A and B are shown apart, each in its own frame.
Chain A
């Protein structure tokens, strides 16, 4: 299985940039497709898709969210961070079955 590694937590100040990383144990890219996706989950709620295929903003997601990366290294950026962004963020790969998720990065206020 492809293992996705995320830092457990990240502390940021409101109005600053947050950079959340996800490293895959092997490449999750196929030709021009980078099969890494990002989700936001707030306590007691279901996950919400933020970014699909590494850099595509999902419908209704604010432009302060962006994604980048290829191969094994991917990044979710939130700039500027707002209070409503405090949540846990998960990456997910669809390059190989089984689909796997990272363990999540909890975004906290500094």
Chain B
């Protein structure tokens, strides 16, 4: 059974940093691209980042480029999202997901609140 478990969320002040982790199981982690997708309270879904199988290629939308960094450890079956210079508009539930050009499994999500 595929499982994706996110941790690391919480309340953080604007301008500070936070690092999310997502531990994967139930599939060959090193064979899949991994993604982070977020959802602001009461709002829709926004893709945040992608990483290829060996971690050599990463992608971001303009809204987080230069502030967020995705990485992975294939030995630990874990994908990370380092979030720096956080803003109030980054407040959301953050999901990790696996897939190809679509997202076939999602974690349960972790809440990040950016507020003073």
Instruction: Identify the A interface with B (CB < 8 A).
Output: 35, 37, 39, 45-49, 52-53, 58-59, 90, 92, 94, 97-104
Q: Which residue of A lies closest to B108 (CB)?
A: A46
23 contacts between A and B (CB under 8 A): A35-B101, A39-B103, A45-B108, A46-B106, A46-B108, A47-B45, A47-B106, A48-B106, A49-B99, A49-B103, A49-B104, A49-B105, A52-B102, A53-B102, A92-B102, A92-B103, A94-B101, A94-B102, A99-B50, A101-B44, A102-B44, A103-B44, A104-B45
Within 8 Å CB of A100, what residues of B? Answer: 47
Main secondary structure on B side of the interface with A: strand
Task: Indicate if B95 sits at the interface (CB-CB under 8 A).
Answer: yes
In the complex, A104→B59 CA distance in Å?
Answer: 24
Instruction: Identify the B interface with A (CB < 8 A).
Output: 44-47, 50, 59, 61-62, 95, 99, 101-109
Say yes or no: B45 contacts A97, CB within 8 Å: no
Among A45, A53, A101, the residue within 8 A (CB) of B47 is A101
Known: A90-B45, A92-B45, A104-B44. A98 touches B102 (CB 8 A): no
Main secondary structure on A side of the interface with B: loop
Say yes or no: B59 contacts A97, CB within 8 Å: yes
In the complex, A102→B61 CA distance in Å?
Answer: 16
In the complex, A97→B105 CA distance in Å?
Answer: 20
In the complex, A97→B104 CA distance in Å?
Answer: 18
8 smallest CB-CB distances across A and B, nearest first, come from A94-B101, A37-B102, A46-B106, A98-B61, A101-B45, A99-B47, A52-B102, A103-B44
Question: Separation in Å of the A92 CB from the closest CB of chain B?
Answer: 7
Question: Separation in Å of the A26 CB from the closest CB of chain B?
Answer: 16
Say yes or no: A58 contacts B104, CB within 8 Å: yes
